[in-house]
Amino acid sequence: MWRAETREQLNAITRRWRGEGLKTALVPTMGNLHKGHLALVEEARREADRVITSIYVNPTQFGQGEDFDNYPRTPDSDVKLLMQAGCDLLFIPEHSTMYPFGLENPVRVQASPDLAATLEGQSRPGHFDGVLTVVARLFNLVVPDIALFGEKDFQQLLVIRRMVDDLGYGIRIVAFPTVREQSGLAMSSRNNYLGVDERAAAGELYAVLRQVADHIRNGRGDWQQVERDARTRLESLGFRVDYVAVRRTKDLGPPGPADLDLRVLAAVYSGRTRLIDNVGANRVGISGE
Ligand code: PAJ
């Protein structure tokens, strides 16, 4: 596996690949890799000739009081896992490579407010601007043919797709389904913060989201009541609920009676750990409205 830290090192390798007509895939990550990340790398292997994984804990997407300083950094085990997964190039930049003019006054990308102001964007103001600011930089530096993102961060995926379509990046965005532990808990670097008991209980979040999806599939259309019931259930399981919401899959707007393709999204706290998850729920019948 090649390794690049600077723009020059990265360019030397990717220019050669492009010159040889090889199709490249980028998997952007913040490291502390788990099976969810590695599934993206393996999918990238199937989709492209060369796979580039980036590891960069991006300060501009963390809010004040969030976990930037404590975010788990495990580069040695990440390198081993990437080699096993068949990654061709690890791009592991310093701040000065990603933000050569410093972190205070970088050129920023602003996420489309219609997609980004709700749910995660409401709870974490500026978060998606920071995500797009670094993802645009990664796209500009790596110039991949495709880039892969997890459905685990569903709103992030939509915000990135919009940027690509709006700014005209010639990059195909591939979405990959959420990889889960046996308990149903979505794999996440932040799961490391959970205590043993919290971790055992955290799978219940997925169970509740699936129940909501089942209600919707069975024709329930009284979303607000469905959301309230889910909130109560999550609270009774010991979670502090940030949001649990039924939304349109395509733009995360509130669903109307004719909307069939829906998503159930939630953010909860287990102790001090913030967990997010989502599931799809395609409506077939319409009743109860
Ligand atoms: P990070 O949280 O490291 O996630 C990197 C990629 O892995 C994202 O596309 C995320 O959706 C995906 N992912 C995480 N957990 C997953 C799981 N359980 N199953 C499937 N995919 C999963 O998301 C980020 O980093 C950053 O915001 C980033 C896009 C790198 C920009 O800094």
> For residues 225 and 148, what is the distance between their CA atoms, to the nearest angstrom?
35
| 11 within some domain | yes
Catalytic residue among 34, 37, 95, 215: 37
CB 23 within 8 A of CB 14: no
CA of residue 220 to ligand 1 center, whole Å = 32
Pocket around ligand 1: residues whose beta carbon is below 6 Å from it?
Answer: 28-30, 36-37, 39-40, 58, 61, 131, 134-135, 149-150, 152-153, 156, 176, 178-179, 186-188
If asked whether residues 122 and 239 sit together in one domain, one would say: no
**Whose Cα sits closest to atom 16 in ligand 1?**
36
From the CA atom positions of the chain, what is the Rg in Å?
Answer: 19
Answer with the one of 143, 176, 209 that is the final residue of a domain: 176
How confident is the prediction along the chain (289 residues), in pLDDT tens digits per residue?
Answer: 999 999 999 999 999 999 999 999 999 999 999 999 999 999 999 999 999 999 999 999 999 999 999 999 999 999 999 999 999 999 999 999 999 999 999 999 999 999 999 999 999 999 999 999 999 999 999 999 999 999 999 999 999 999 999 999 999 999 999 999 999 999 999 999 999 999 989 999 999 999 999 999 998 889 999 999 999 999 999 999 999 999 999 999 999 988 999 999 999 999 999 999 999 998 875 544 4
Answer with the one of 132, 149, 176 that is the final residue of a domain: 176
Which residues, other chains included, contact 238 with Cβ-Cβ below 8 Å and sequence gap of 6+?
201, 270
**How many independent structural domains does the chain possess?**
2
**Whose Cα sits closest to atom 7 in ligand 1?**
37
State the CB neighbour count (10 A cutoff) for residue 280: 16
Answer with the one of 108, 142, 176 that is the final residue of a domain: 176
Domain range spanning residue 263? 189-282
**Whose Cα sits closest to atom 13 in ligand 1?**
150
| 288 within some domain | no
| 88 within some domain | yes
If asked whether residues 51 and 137 sit together in one domain, one would say: yes
Q: Which atom of ligand 1 is nearest to the CA of 153?
A: 11
| 121 within some domain | yes
Q: At what angle do helices 223-236 and 196-217 cross, to 10 degrees?
A: 160
Active site residue 127: no
Which residues, other chains included, contact 225 with Cβ-Cβ below 8 Å and sequence gap of 6+?
none
Q: Classify residue 47 by burial, with Cβ atoms within 10 Å: 0-12, 13-18, 19+.
A: middle
If asked whether residues 160 and 206 sit together in one domain, one would say: no
CA of residue 104 to ligand 1 center, whole Å = 25
Q: For the full predicted model, state whether its pTM sits above 0.85.
A: yes
**Whose Cα sits closest to atom 9 in ligand 1?**
149
If asked whether residues 196 and 55 sit together in one domain, one would say: no
CA of residue 229 to ligand 1 center, whole Å = 29
If asked whether residues 60 and 112 sit together in one domain, one would say: yes
